[in-house]
Chains A and B, each alone.
Chain A
């Protein structure tokens, strides 16, 4: 891995963490780094909202599949 400051993420790193977050709890250091990155980045919050939309979509789909709607 390339040497980086532990708290400094590229968008690619941040996106990878946001995707990972959907399936597992992130270590504190990752959560902190991601939060800092999201605060200063214009593009990544959009990616975050897309993933949130996907999560909502899957939830609604599940209800639809399971015959509840």
Chain B
């Protein structure tokens, strides 16, 4: 890599910008922060092309850098991020619970059988639905959920980074998972899929 044209390397890196931006936005829920994190990622990559020399996949390398930049941004914006969701979100979550369960605590209707969708879960279409459902989570919930699921931080780490109490974190993650389940149930598993 060291002997290739610098311009070519620069172009290659820049070609991944939109891809990186998509996930920075999904995680940070703020266009300015996301664009900053991606810019910092591209600059960091350009500043040390030798770090890429041993790697096979440029995209994988860039995503790795992006994750660090995104965690930095989350840390800096921690105060704003750790604001709990609004009352409106909370009552929407209560409604979700009420729809799912009868007053006696039984399921109102048995959860659907999702089958064994191992193959189709890997499809581009499914990922599009999954990302749409994730992006529809309230911002605070979505950020925390992706810190677990994309950045793969432990609950302890998230609490430390954002100065959240475990109880608050668990409530938010619980709601996020419940909403995501509902959204996938409605938009993927219940609807007939194109072949």
Tell whether, in the assembled complex, residue A11 and residue B105 are in contact, meaning their CB atoms are under 8 Å apart.
Answer: yes
Near A by CB (< 8 A), chain B positions 112-162 give 112-114, 117-118, 121-122, 126-127, 130-131, 148-150, 152, 155
Q: Which of B59, B122, B148 contacts A67 (CB 8 A)?
A: B59
A49 CB contacts on chain B under 8 angstroms: 113-114
Chain B: interface residue total (CB-CB under 8 A):
43
The closest CB in chain A to the CB of B173 belongs to: A23
A56 CB contacts on chain B under 8 angstroms: 118, 121
Tell whether, in the assembled complex, residue A69 and residue B110 are in contact, meaning their CB atoms are under 8 Å apart.
Answer: no
User: Is B46 in contact with chain A by the CB < 8 A criterion?
Assistant: no
A48 to B29, CA, bound (A): 30
The closest CB in chain A to the CB of B151 belongs to: A62
Chain A: interface residue total (CB-CB under 8 A):
33
A12 to B185, CA, bound (A): 18
**Smallest beta-carbon distance A43→chain B, Å:** 4
A60 to B123, CA, bound (A): 10
B180 CB contacts on chain A under 8 angstroms: 54
A56 to B178, CA, bound (A): 16
B23 CB contacts on chain A under 8 angstroms: 65
B170 CB contacts on chain A under 8 angstroms: 20, 23-24
The closest CB in chain A to the CB of B113 belongs to: A46
Tell whether, in the assembled complex, residue B149 and residue A12 are in contact, meaning their CB atoms are under 8 Å apart.
Answer: no
User: Is B181 in contact with chain A by the CB < 8 A criterion?
Assistant: yes
